Amino acid sequence: MTTSDTSTSTPGTDRIDELRERMIIRLRAVNALHSEPVTRAVRTVPRHAFAPEFPLEEVYDPETVLRTRFADDGTATSSVSATWVQTLMLERARLRPGMRVLEVGSGGYNAALAAEVVGPAGSVTSLDIDPAVIDRARTHLTQAGYADRVELVVGDAEHGHPSSAPYDRIIVTAAATDLPPTWTHQLVDGGRLVLPLGVRGFQRVYAFTRHGALLLGETGNHAGFVPMQGLGASASTTVPVTDTVELTTDADPTPAPEALSAVFALPAQEQFTGVRIAGMEPFSALQMWMATGLPHFATLTGTADDFRYRPMTHALIPAMWDGTSLAYLLLPAVPDASATYEFVACGHGPDAADVVATMADHVRRWDRDHRGGPGPRFLAHPDFPPGDGIIRTRHTRLLALWDQAEEDHGLDWPADPGR
């Protein structure tokens, strides 16, 4: 197999080698890269060959996402992911020589890294719903010398790729909100599924191990990926509240926009929780705590001008909508306390006092029992009975385990996206 040739020293190759080694140092510093096989793959596979239109400094910056394809509205639909999350997922997959790997979501570089780790005795199949993405991956894999090591397939992630199954590892590189049964069925018992899983709007990278019909998860890492397309696209619904505020929910039936708008226009009730954080303290575990346990959970988006106090994030604001009343969580600065903020629950509607109290109590429970912790593990099984902590999706049931979290495979950066 032909790989990048670094035997001849030229200004170009010297610069690439320097940037690559600098990237490796940074990846190791945040524990996104630690094993010798993955490190060797990063040194071997020429990342710039898979993103020739981008400057080398961006290609070898471990935090930079290289967006390569866009929808009509400008939303990215395909990208070469940031190196830190690619190596993190490969490390969490625990690849070994001879393994069979399915990659869901293609770009070329990640598949080439996996091919290096599993070696000639292994195999890598890369699947994408977009023929143009597969064509691009094929071009760059060929140029980099990996065309004979990666099978490229056009198809919907929902179906996997049964003709090359079973797989020892499945690595998903688009944000999933569900776990289709084909992934479990095409994974060997004891095999690992690594993916960015969105749970009611909040996304982390999780590793699951198959035990029969059960997928046993580990604690997650913060990350952001392009959304899944096709049959596995998110089933959430976004409803306008005002011209600039929107509510996203999995609720059925979907809230009526006029009902939401009328409630949001009512005077707000509020309850300060007494839970304070310093300016740079992460709180994404609180977001996941609310997403997995708060009844009637939803998220709001809006600008600072839309609310009385500072929103928790620049993206998703935890909220709840019970059909008649709306509550959401804000984070105003504490007067006379430098860079300190206190969570406040705000609500509108006939039962505003109740939904505000429920939300505030949830924040206090997180502060008492889970603050500073790694966040939940998830168990996934299609037949979990309904109950507290069970999140129902189209294909499976997710059980959030907050008191049995394993090692936090956490990183020092990128910055917590809760910020």
Residue with tokens 């009844």: 295
DSSP 8-state class, residue 416: P
Residue 378 burial (C-beta neighbours within 10 Å; 0-12, 13-18, 19+): buried
- Taking the CB of residue 357, how many other CB atoms lie within 10 A of it? 16
Which one, of 144, 114, 118, lies nearest residue 126 by Cα?
Answer: 114
Catalytic residue among 78, 79, 81, 126: 81
Q: In angstroms, rounded to a whole number, what is the distance separating the alpha carbons of residues 345 and 71? A: 36
- Checking DSSP bridges between strand 317-321 and strand 340-348, what pairing results, if any? unpaired
81 is catalytic: yes
Residue 221 burial (C-beta neighbours within 10 Å; 0-12, 13-18, 19+): buried
Q: In angstroms, rounded to a whole number, what is the distance separating the alpha carbons of residues 316 and 68? A: 25
Helix (H) or strand (E) holding 124: strand 123-128
Q: In angstroms, rounded to a whole number, what is the distance separating the alpha carbons of residues 155 and 16? A: 34
Query: What DSSP assignment string belongs to 147-195?
Result: TTTEEEEE--GGG--GGG--EEEEEE-SBBSS--HHHHHTEEEEEEEEE
Peptide bond into 253 cis (omega under 30): yes
Q: In angstroms, rounded to a whole number, what is the distance separating the alpha carbons of residues 275 and 363? A: 7
- Checking DSSP bridges between strand 187-199 and strand 167-172, what pairing results, if any? parallel
Helices 83-93, 109-118: crossing angle, 10 deg rounding: 30
- Taking the CB of residue 350, how many other CB atoms lie within 10 A of it? 10
- What is the chain's Cα-based Rg? 22
Catalytic residues: 81
